[in-house]
Amino acid sequence: MSSLLQIQDWLGTALAGAVLAALGYVLKLFIELYQSYKERQRTKRAKLIELQSLLRATKFAFLIQNKHAATLTNWIETNLQNVPQKTMGYEAVISGAFDNLPVEQKELHSIIRSITTSTLYPTNKLILEWLREDTVFKTTRSNNPQFSDLAASLLALETHLVLWLAKYDAWIPGKPAHALVYMADEREHGFGFPNGVDELVENVLKRY
């Protein structure tokens, strides 16, 4: 009888040990899955922050450039004759008057062109590289409109940048009179920058 009790005790101990081992394994697996999930979330957040930074650089560069372009266009229309009217767009006015600009205004033209070549061009290339490498946000289909709207905007942004860079290659190198690369201006050379994409990135970032 004592032997039977010993066997029962041993089986109970073994079973308890097996249950505890199984629970430990499940807990370890859960922790690893959770850590993997958090790491993926951190990676997604880091990628979005990278895109946000590039979009902000582009936005502020464009706003500063557009202010300078308006200033130079107003000067040209006030002080020169036989130049395209503003209704043709800043680029048409500025490039048409380039040969007749005095030194001070040519310096402003140079600043406007430099923003295109040294800020917008490399930054737009980096954004396009980001978009081409992205396998998450462009393809997200969700009942949450923040994610689906961001996906649509990123696809539109990719189209815009492909066209912008193509126009840059045809418009800027070797053509010093040209200073601006606009896609959705009066000449309608392409597809404009999608409105609100930076706000969409900010809204999705809040979820990580």
Least confident of 17-21, 82-86, 199-203: 17-21
The mean pLDDT value of the chain amounts to 84
Least confident of 16-20, 42-46, 102-106: 16-20
Residues in contact with 91: Cβ distance below 8 Å, sequence separation at least 6, in sequence order: 69, 178, 179, 180, 182, 185, 187
Question: Residue 110 CB: number of other CB atoms within 10 A?
Answer: 12
User: What pTM, to 2 d.p., does this model score?
Assistant: 0.79
User: What's the pLDDT at 58?
Assistant: 95
In tens, the pLDDT along 174-189 reads 999 999 999 876 566 6
Residues in contact with 59: Cβ distance below 8 Å, sequence separation at least 6, in sequence order: 198
Least confident of 29-33, 75-79, 119-123: 29-33
- What's the pLDDT band for 193 if we cut at 50, 70, 90? confident
